[in-house]
Chain A
């Protein structure tokens, strides 16, 4: 492996080490996996007739609209900001790795952690339902789109909150306002207002592939177009993060 690639890979490994060996990570695993208890309880009830519809609603409301925002807000804003606040950033940017590479490799590593945190309980809940109902294969067309929505959301929200963490000294408050006022309120407004939210494009991805439940009832654009918008947005935000971090005084 060349020196540059080795340093980039080293930065990703360091980021994974930092993110997964913390109390914060443990707390987030508990929070994101807690709704699985609701699944277990619901399936034990005799009146539960449509478990996959239940899974559909639970994933849409709790994981797409809440956990995805919460996990990316907490992890992505702190990825660089915590290093600056703790003054450990000096150990990272005085090495044979450019600041641009530091920014990109940390972002990519944290995507894996965020995806794991949100997607794992969704996949486990789905598997549990499949096992209880006697067969996983019949409704696999629901899980795939949700995992795709989570992945796209982790990239897009991750890039937004990452940039916020680089630009702003205290990003959490602004991030909370963005997540729960801008994204959740505006994305549920009538007309074309939801077009200015990231959530609209994430929902559009799923709405094309999932035909039942509330996710299918949202206004949407084509899945390909939504994916294009989300990819472009992620790239632009990431380039801005890289540029901002590369020119920043780190004190």
Chain B
């Protein structure tokens, strides 16, 4: 049985189309949804998680229709793209209440909340969630999605705006969960993020699926794509020089003392190097913003083919 089966699925928001006759099957393992902003990824994720109801077509998740279906919800963990949480709550309180909504008893709620905090590396955090960094908020969102021991984990843009250390850490967590047998659907507008994680990938644009297959096949098709990133750092010049010395980038542009633009054909090595630069060489990196223009050019080529 496929984890997700969508047949001619459409969703309109008034005059605006979110998904347009979308047909796909997603199997076990990690499936990546890749597309630029407005491609329909979040609409698809909201449909899968039962947040919105479908227009035309048919959608089954784990063999069931997802809209307003508590039985299915008890098997799914949903991690939204936004950072809005109950900011006044402490993490354990937040997870405890979320576990209660899964119908668990008080003692079981406590155990699972502590276990899920431990999985995402937030055990012992006793501050209100509002004081957390972006990366910590991403982790607490993943933790709340794990409370019901889900069969399927749905993650909407989990890497947006996080620093390289957190990005690598989140990827490790997701890989571990997949190795434990949890199927994962993950969306991103960065092909590279998905390339590092997913078994299968669906390329989406304008509410439609353009291409699907094993990640290796898709990457072969778009073999020579470049990956551009804006790096916010306290030492843009130093970091730029180091990246160039290491031969990790084709283009380096120090846009300001705190902002660096780089383009690379080897994002794997670049992303491996950045956490080392932070930890070993003490270069502070505040934020990574991958540029999706590269993805747009890929889509243009794919559509051309």
Contacts and interface: CB of A to CB of B under 8 A. Distances in A.
Interface in A1-57: 1-4, 6-7, 9-11, 13-14, 17-18, 21-22
Given A1-B105, A87-B84, A94 B53 contact: no
Given A93-B51, A97-B70, A249-B52, A3 B103 contact: yes
A95 B70 CA distance: 6
Contact of A247 (B53, B84, B101, B148): B53
Contacts of A13: 97, 100
A97 B105 CA distance: 14
Contacts of B52: 249-251
B132 interface: no
Contacts of B82: 87
Given A250-B51, A250-B52, A251-B51, A97 B46 contact: no
A232 interface: no
B51 A4 contact: no
A86 B144 CA distance: 17
Interface residues of B, number: 33
Contacts of A11: 100-101
Nearest to B74: A96
Contacts of B122: none
A185 interface: no
Nearest to A6: B103
A6 B74 CA distance: 14
B238 interface: no
Q: Which of B78, B86, B93 has the most CB of A within 10 A?
A: B86
B98 A249 contact: no
A7 B86 CA distance: 18
Nearest to A86: B84
Given A91-B144, A249-B53, A97 B76 contact: no
Contact of B100 (A14, A18, A87, A247): A14
Interface string B60-90: 0000000010110110101010101110110
B53 A7 contact: no
A25 B104 CA distance: 29
A17 B101 CA distance: 14
Contacts of A249: 51-53
A97 B103 contact: yes
A22 B88 CA distance: 9
Contact of B105 (A6, A14, A22, A246): A6
B78 A98 contact: no
23 contacts: A2-B103, A3-B103, A4-B103, A7-B101, A7-B103, A11-B100, A11-B101, A14-B100, A17-B93, A21-B88, A88-B84, A88-B85, A88-B86, A91-B80, A91-B85, A92-B101, A93-B50, A94-B78, A95-B98, A96-B70, A96-B101, A97-B102, A99-B68
Interface of B: 13, 46, 49-53, 68, 70-71, 73-74, 76, 78, 80, 82, 84-86, 88-89, 93, 97-105, 144, 148
Given A10-B101, A86-B84, A250-B52, 20 more contacts: A1-B105, A3-B103, A10-B100, A11-B101, A22-B88, A88-B86, A91-B80, A91-B86, A91-B98, A93-B73, A95-B73, A95-B102, A96-B70, A96-B74, A97-B102, A98-B68, A99-B68, A246-B68, A247-B68, A250-B51
